[in-house]
Structure 1
Amino acid sequence: MSFRENLQYLRATHAMTQEQLALMLGVSRQSVTKWEAERSYPEMDKLLKMCQIFDCTLDDLVQGDLTTKVPSSAVQARASALRAAAGGPPQDVCGYDEHMRSFAWKISWGVLAILVGVALLIAIEGWAEAKAPTLEALGLIPLFAGIAIGVAFILVAAFQHTEFQRSHPYIQDFYTAEDRQRTQRMFAWLLVAGIALIFAGIVAVGLTDGMDELTQMEMTAVMMGCIAAGAWCIVYGSIMLGRLSIANYNDAREQALAESDEGKVIVGSDAAALRTLYTDEQICELLGVTEASDAEIERARARIERKRRKDQITSGLCGIVMIAATIAGLVMLFVPGYQTPFFWLAWAVGGLLCAVVAIAVGTFVKDQPSR
């Protein structure tokens, strides 16, 4: 007995539609259709989830014969509850919200750790310069510790997010209007708090004019602490607000397909290469429809290529900008004659330039649809 026949039988005995099963697994209905047509095969995490839903073993599901198995009343009751959930208001069956909250937490605390390390460096250097010049190098300990902790948080969050996207390529939008309003209010408060903290830190430094050097260094450290707290508020609030855009999450599947090994690499805007990489069925799946006209499919292909092209340009330019910022920051940190406690501004300026680059590419790089 094949996996296809087992899946069709299990769906039939549980009176479950392809849409309902897809929602429980966090995939599109087209994926279930392909599994039952033996045009593709589910990943391991989806197979294990199906074993939980249908109360069977992995071996039985993949290689056994489940057509002779009568589902128990408990299994039928659980399946009925799952169908009711799938047929009612959309629900977070993939744990997307929990994952995005964890992602926002890790990224924001990673940024905070790096900036706090810079603040401690400035504070220790200021104290050491006035009290014990031989201990100035101690400031590098909290700096590198902050960078290590921050990078660890950010990398772990990035890897986990990539894995989640791979495991859940499609998410149904389950957020309600109340969820959106609550998150927008939270973001507004966090944004105001973040800007206020940064502004307060800058003002505090401005008030130290005419004071001794130690006081100025201490207030500079306080300013960096305020900037760190403000950055945490802004980064956390932005990611929490961005998580509501399920459409953007699903659109990332387009980029993943463009970079996958399933098709040829697109050169320029060659229409034949686009057709090789994206079949009509893949385009329909990305559009979230069963069928689409030839004109709609071609427009979708062109849109995918334009997005891929702009993303490549933006990534390349931002990479160059941040490499230059890193070189400048290291020079201002370690090279005699250029050393300054404000070396961290190199990365701040680099981040702002990357934002400018992204806006400029989106505005001025002309769309060139495939021919």
Structure 2
Amino acid sequence: MSFRDNLQHLRATRNMTQEQLAMLLGVSRQSVTKWEAEKSYPEMDKLIKICELFDVTLDDLVKGDLTNVEPAPETQRMPDGPATDVIGYDEHAQRYARGLSLGVGSIIAGVGLAQIVSAVCLAAGLSGSVADTMQLVMIVAGVAAGLMFLLPSTSDHARFKRVHPYVMDFYTEEEHRAHAHKQTMLTAVGIVVILAGVVVASLGDTGISVSLMAGPEDYGLSISIGESVFNGCFLLLVAIGVGIIVWAQTRHGLADVVAYNVDAAEELTEENIEFGDYDEKTLEHVRSIKSHKRLNRVKGGLDGIIILVGSIVGLVMLFMGLELFWVAWIVGGILCFISDLMVDLVWQARGRA
């Protein structure tokens, strides 16, 4: 009996589809398809995983006849009915979205806290050098905190994609609608929070200040807090709003399992794509992404340069004490949009030529 027959029997008796077996083994669906069509053979580590999964020996799997063997009660069997999340994809998606939102929010919040701490130091009568030092410390602390969230999250997501390059869509239509609704609502909340920050920043432009008193009247400490603190509060609200939007967009994006599979299949050759028996929607997405890969690299490179330059200009304006330092990021975002639009137009013109 061949390895193919044994594998097909083991899978069938466990009520397991090719997609489910692929997810459990950490391979793509087309790999399992090739094995069962005798177009290729699994590597040794995959053979061992198959043996552990189905509780069989390597000799029996490769050389024996398992088609008449009933599965042991303790071996894994897929439940009847709709597809289920057998690899913890949903939990991973939530963890990844949380890490990205906290990372981005922490970096922006660090700049806002730096503004507030610097203003408080100056208002308390400390020297400008002390205020600048505390400002730098807060910015560095915010960046460090952001990286502590971002780096593990992105690394874990990359590892997850390597281990599970294909995931069967287990979300129901109702769950997809719920994800879309939640994304819309949270994005709106994030925008409202950012707009509230703009209102707070505008209070600083009106000349409004807040005075704080501490201690007995004869020995009390009076601190007058003005525009810098309002700007710092603006950035804190922006950090919260952006964090909410990042979480909503990332979580909703990962709920699109087809897009996840497309992302993992980008490096496949056309032969592998065809042989993988992907559905037509996935095939369309894969080919579209592969055809626009160079375009995306160009746009991403230009956007990265613009964002980097905008961040440098914004931080320089901040340390120079300019009031409208935050405008640098807004201008950078507008320039990114214009750059993407121009690249698209040029790319389309070249395609028609």
Structures share fold, TM-score greater than 0.5? yes
Determine the C-alpha separation between the residues in 2 that align with 1:367 and 1:173: 37
AA at the equivalent of 1:216:
E
1:157 aligns with 2:153: yes
AA at the equivalent of 1:127:
V
2:21 matched residue in structure 1: 24
1:307 aligns with 2:281: no
1:354 matched residue in structure 2: 336
Gaps of 5+ in 2: 210-223
Among 255, 261, 264, which residue is 1:250 paired with?
261
1:135 matched residue in structure 2: 130
Higher-Rg member (1/2): 2
C-alpha spacing 1:343/1:104, structure 2 compared with 1 (3 Å): same
Give, in angstroms, the shift of residue 328 of structure 1. Answer: 2.1
Give, in angstroms, the shift of residue 99 of structure 1. Answer: 1.2
1:261 matched residue in structure 2: none
Give, in angstroms, the shift of residue 206 of structure 1. Answer: 1.6
Determine the C-alpha separation between the residues in 2 that align with 1:219 and 1:228: 14
1:41 matched residue in structure 2: 42
AA at the equivalent of 1:340:
L
Give, in angstroms, the shift of residue 51 of structure 1. Answer: 3.8
Q: Percent identity?
A: 30
Q: Is the 8 A contact 2:114 2:136 kept in 1?
A: yes
2:109 matched residue in structure 1: 116
Q: Could you list the per-position Cα deviations for residues 187-237 of structure 1 after superposition, in whole angstroms to 9, with x for gaps in the alignment? A: 222122211111112112222312347322222221111111111111111
Determine the C-alpha separation between the residues in 1 that align with 2:44 and 2:300: 30
Alignment of 1:265-344 (within 5 A): 278-285=269-276, 287-288=278-279, 303=288, 305-333=290-318, 338-340=320-322, 343=325
2:249 matched residue in structure 1: 238
CA RMSD in angstroms comes to 3.6
Determine the C-alpha separation between the residues in 2 that align with 1:172 and 1:202: 43
Number of residue-to-residue matches in the alignment: 328
C-alpha spacing 1:108/1:181, structure 2 compared with 1 (3 Å): same
Secondary structure of 1:15's partner? helix
C-alpha spacing 1:33/1:182, structure 2 compared with 1 (3 Å): closer
1:366 aligns with 2:351: no
Determine the C-alpha separation between the residues in 2 that align with 1:251 and 1:301: 5
| Higher mean displacement: 223-232 or 339-348 | 339-348
AA at the equivalent of 1:129:
L
C-alpha spacing 1:43/1:307, structure 2 compared with 1 (3 Å): farther
1:104 aligns with 2:97: yes
Q: Could you list the per-position Cα deviations for residues 274-331 of structure 1 after superposition, in whole angstroms to 9, with x for gaps in the alignment? A: xxxx353434427447xxxxxxx9x999745521221222122123223322432443
C-alpha spacing 1:218/1:301, structure 2 compared with 1 (3 Å): closer
AA at the equivalent of 2:32:
V
TM-score normalized with structure 2 length: 0.78
